[in-house]
Structure 1
Amino acid sequence: MALAVPRTWVVGEVVAAATLNAEIRDQFTDLISGWTSYTPAWTASTAPSIGNGTLIGRYKVIGKLCTAQIEIVMGTTTTFGSGIWFFSLPFTAASPAGTSANWVYMGSSRAHSATTWYTGISAVVKGTSVLKAFSPADWSPTVPHSWAAASTNYGHLSITYETV
């Protein structure tokens, strides 16, 4: 159950257990519930393929605020496609009133080659559900390093954004 607007109580109202459960128990259940798993799509100009690697995602929604995390671990049969990489999010990002056409929600990213860590940012543009990573430029088959089909090559992305 998603968080709901609390009800307005009336003086002298007889409160039923079902009303209390909906107003108190169910609201707290939403706050303390666990994360939900999902499988992100990984796309580019020429489609990459995870092969025997791993691509997993999880998210937690509280009210209209979604935090999503994605992990990609390259396998020996992973292919990297061509062009900038994009990862799907579980929900579309909201377009807050009064924001510019370029409004983005920002998060973090990190990539690992066999020996080096690369840190950067992740971003989703309002009105979309597509996440990009930058370390220092858009992630691609050669950025932030020349990715290899090996489990020592992996990436993590995290973002918190308002949903529609």
Structure 2
Amino acid sequence: MTFAPRTWFPGEIVTEGLLNEQIRDQFASFLGAWTEYTPTWIAETGGTPSVGNGSLTGRYLKVGRTVNFLIKLSVGSTTTFGAANANWAFGLPASPSSVFHGARCLTVSARIAGVGEVTGTGETSTSNGGTARAFAGGSVNGTTNQPDSSYWDQTNPLAAAAGMSFHVSGCYEASS
């Protein structure tokens, strides 16, 4: 929890409570534990994905207006992915600022045991309350062969399957 900085006045008596609030508690917000949250998962252009018996988890640390976050989707046998060319998006823990909305500042990766690993980039969006989206491929199994315009869905850049894990991480400026 952060507080607005106090305006001090000449002759004011500094108390333990004021020091704790203005100094200790402010520093604690920088060093605090990450907070768990459950991201939403949507398809921006078709169908409705569902986690099914998989899992979707998120964690974040917000210091001032800077948000660091991690999202992990573990695909289960009953997970559904939306339509082809669905353009997956995941809910963020705080609404992003519109100033750098769309900046390619996120790292994404997917791994399917025995099949391959994909890395790429993503961006923040102010739509749907704030999302991480537009995941462009970058490399598949270490070979750069995914165009920046290819969004991730159930078949691209690798066919999604049970046992797959999909990770999104990044840092962005929150709107407040």
Q: 1:47 to 1:139 in 2, by over 3 A?
A: same
- Unaligned regions of 5+ residues in structure 1, if any? none
Contact preservation (8 Å) 1:111, 1:144: no
Matched to 2:35, the amino acid is T
Aligned with 1:47: secondary structure?
coil
Measured in 2, the distance between the counterparts of 1:106 and 1:42 equals 19
Contact preservation (8 Å) 2:104, 2:121: no
TM-score when normalising by structure 1 = 0.86
- Unaligned regions of 5+ residues in structure 2, if any? 138-145
- Equivalent in the alignment of 1:159: 170
Aligned with 1:160: secondary structure?
strand
- Equivalent in the alignment of 2:48: 47
Measured in 2, the distance between the counterparts of 1:105 and 1:28 equals 30
Contact preservation (8 Å) 2:102, 2:123: no
Measured in 1, the distance between the counterparts of 2:104 and 2:110 equals 20
TM-score when normalising by structure 2 = 0.81
- Equivalent in the alignment of 1:87: 90
Residue-pair matches, total: 157
Matched to 1:146, the amino acid is A
Moved over 6 A (4+): none
Match of 1:144 among 157, 170, 175: 157
Instruction: Note the alpha carbon deviations across 1:115-137, whole angstroms, 9 max, x for none.
Output: 21111012103575011122142
Measured in 2, the distance between the counterparts of 1:93 and 1:61 equals 12
Q: Among the aligned pairs, what percent are the same residue?
A: 36
Aligned with 1:67: secondary structure?
strand
C-alpha RMSD over aligned residues: 1.9
Aligned with 2:69: secondary structure?
strand
Q: CA deviation at 1:79?
A: 1.1
Q: CA deviation at 1:17?
A: 1.3
Aligned with 2:26: secondary structure?
helix
